[in-house]
Amino acid sequence: MSNKTWLITGAARGIGLSLARQVLARGDAVAATSRTMESLRQALGADSDRFLALEVDLVSEPGVQAAMEKIIGAFGSIDVVVNNAGYGQQGTIEALTDAELRRNFDVNVFAPLHVLRHALPQLRKQRSGHIFNVASIAGFQGGYAGWGSYVATKFALAGLTETLAAEVAELGIKATIVYPGPVRTGFLSRESLVVAQHAIADYAAAQASLELHLNGLDGKQAGDPEKLALLIIQAANTAQPPVHLFAGQIANELAEEKLKAVSGDLAAWKSASQATDFTE
Candidate list 87, 144, 150, 203, residue with the active-site label: 150
Residue 37: name the closest of 28, 47, 27, 29 by CA: 47
Cβ 158 vs Cβ 200: under 8 Å: no
Which amino acid belongs to residue 83?
N
Q: Is 87 marked active-site?
A: no
How far apart, in Å, do the first and last CA atoms of the chain sit? Answer: 57
Phi-psi region of 196 (alpha: psi -120 to 50; beta: other; left: phi over 0): beta
Give the Å distances, CA to CA, from 265 to 51, 112, 139, 259.
Answer: 49, 33, 19, 10
118/66 Cα distance (integer angstroms): 9
- Using alpha carbons, select from 113, 141, 95 the residue that is nearest to residue 250: 141
| Residues with a known catalytic role | 150
